[in-house]
Amino acid sequence: MKKLAQELWHSARLLVPTNKFRAQLILLVFIAAAIPVTELLVAKLFTDLVIDGANKPLSLIVVNLLIFGLLFVATRVANYIQKNYRVKFFDRAFGADKRQKTAQGESWEWAMALEMVNILSFTVQAFVIVGFFFFLNPLMAAITLVMVLILLEVMGRVFMFQMKTQREFVEKRRAKEVVTPAERLGSRIKSAEFATLLASFFVVALMVLLVVFSIQGVITLSSTIVFFLGLRLMNTTFSSISSALMRFARAKANSF
């Protein structure tokens, strides 16, 4: 995980040349990470309304429904703005970069930059989700945090292996050796799917533990539902991280 963090840090410093653009990059990452957590908050409001709505005064129900609607719309708008603005952001950031680049090199840097934003966004998102879990149940959240750290460590090691593999492919092409599409794509897909499969096993184990805690009364019914949705989201998050990491490895190996 340490080497992965170093690779991302060095890439960010190279691709984003000034502090002004680096601050904007951080803002983009946190907006992307906050969107799914807001959706979990929306899910929590919804489950509370469905489960305990009959016991609440009408005025409170109306207020909660308004908050629910506003948050839901806000997440959709924020997601739209973030995904569209990052293209404009990198266009300006690359325009401020004084390095001499070939057209092919610039194309690979674009690919690397977009995947870097995805990796950073999804990684921060995973930790923000765990932070949200602490408000629901600290014990379950702590166990989830351990899972996140283990998975990031494994994914970091798989990423470094894939970086080495992709650089070998680049060297082979420079030496006029044949590298088939099956080799290039197969290696990247296998690495991504291995990490995704491992994450799925961890998430299933957490869901089983969640059911046990819910039956024992450790976690309330509404929180159990939100935890379930959050864990499904966590599974998707790690699948996205894994795929983005392998694409990032390919782009970086070809761009430098």
CATH number, domain with residue 17? 1.20.1560
- Quote the number of domains for the chain: 1
More confident residue, 209 or 109: 209
What confidence score (pLDDT) does residue 143 get? 93
pLDDT band at 30 (very low <50, low <70, confident <90, very high): confident
What confidence score (pLDDT) does residue 52 get? 64
pLDDT band at 100 (very low <50, low <70, confident <90, very high): low
What confidence score (pLDDT) does residue 3 get? 74
What confidence score (pLDDT) does residue 58 get? 65
Contacts of 192 (CB under 8 A, 6+ apart): 242, 243, 245, 246
pLDDT digits (tens, 9 = 90+) for 144-203: 999 999 999 998 888 888 888 888 888 877 877 777 777 777 788 888 888 888 889 999
Across the range 95-113, mean pLDDT stands at 69
Spatial separation of the C-alpha atoms in residues 239 and 237, rounded to whole Å: 5
Per cent of the chain over pLDDT 70 is 88
What confidence score (pLDDT) does residue 61 get? 66
Report the 10 Å Cβ neighbour count for 205.
Answer: 12
Instruction: Please report, as a single letter, which amino acid is at residue 96.
Output: A
Residue with token string 């935890």: 227
With vertex at residue 133, the alpha carbon angle to CA 131 and CA 138, rounded to the nearest 5 degrees, is 95
pTM attached to this predicted model: 0.80
More confident residue, 169 or 90: 169
Concatenating the DSSP letter of every residue in 9-20 gives: HHHHHHHS-SHH
Helix, strand and coil content of the chain, in percent to the nearest 5, comes to 90, 0, 10
pLDDT band at 56 (very low <50, low <70, confident <90, very high): low
Report the 10 Å Cβ neighbour count for 4.
Answer: 21
Report the 10 Å Cβ neighbour count for 117.
Answer: 22
pLDDT digits (tens, 9 = 90+) for 118-153: 888 888 888 988 988 898 899 999 999 999 999 999
What confidence score (pLDDT) does residue 102 get? 61
The average confidence (pLDDT) of the chain is 80
Domain of residue 16 covers: 2-255
